[in-house]
A and B are shown apart, each in its own frame.
Chain A
Amino acid sequence: GQSLEQPSEVTAVEGAIVQINCTYQTSGFYGLSWYQQHDGGAPTFLSYNGLDGLEETGRFSSFLSRSDSYGYLLLQELQMKDSASYFCALRDTGFQKLVFGTGTRLLVSP
């Protein structure tokens, strides 16, 4: 099977940079995705890494290293509205099925 591990909680202050790590075990996958979910809300797509390396989308960047079974989401210039849960997810090779990690709760303080 597939499994993904993330830290349960990360705290940071406004304006700072924070990195959320994701380590995984899998026999094969297409890529690593990241989703954001505010309390009580729907997850929204942030980023996708199909290849090794860094993908940048505005204040958010995501990185994947298949040789290390590791990825991370980097959030820069943190804002209060970034307080949310962040999930990494593997895209299964058989279909577009996603396997989600347990999520990291990010708390941004003033």
Chain B
Amino acid sequence: DGGITQSPKYLFRKEGQNVTLSCEQNLNHDAMYWYRQDPGQGLRLIYYSQIVNDFQKGDIAEGYSVSREKKESFPLTVTSAQKNPTAFYLCASSGGAGFSNQPQHFGDGTRLSIL
């Protein structure tokens, strides 16, 4: 079955440490996204990528970095510059640009907490 796999499910970060969240998709989607969700809140866009080797900042990119070296993979690094990283992180993908009604498919998320 095609889908999006996020790992790990739970992650703990020490102060001053960078951590990387994995996101892999086998849906052959061009576009991928990272969202942050705080308790009782909506989803806020961190970064998105239309194609391989290209990505753009979303609304809350500060303290985060991404790469898109392969179509299937879009890892997110939460750097030490992100002072409040505790949240639920969701990765999503969708069909290529030009298909305006393509839904986004989400992974099961990673819960990040500070030790």
Contacts and interface: CB of A to CB of B under 8 A. Distances in A.
Interface of A: 30-31, 33, 40-45, 48, 50, 87, 91, 95-103
Contacts, number: 62
B94 interface: yes
Interface of B is mostly: loop
Interface residues of B, number: 29
Contact of A42 (B95, B100, B103, B106): B106
Contacts of A95: 31, 48, 50, 56, 97
B48 A41 contact: no
Contacts of A43: 43, 90, 92, 104, 106
A48 B100 CA distance: 10
B42 A87 contact: yes
A31 B107 contact: no
Nearest to A50: B101
A103 to B, nearest CB: 5
B53 interface: no
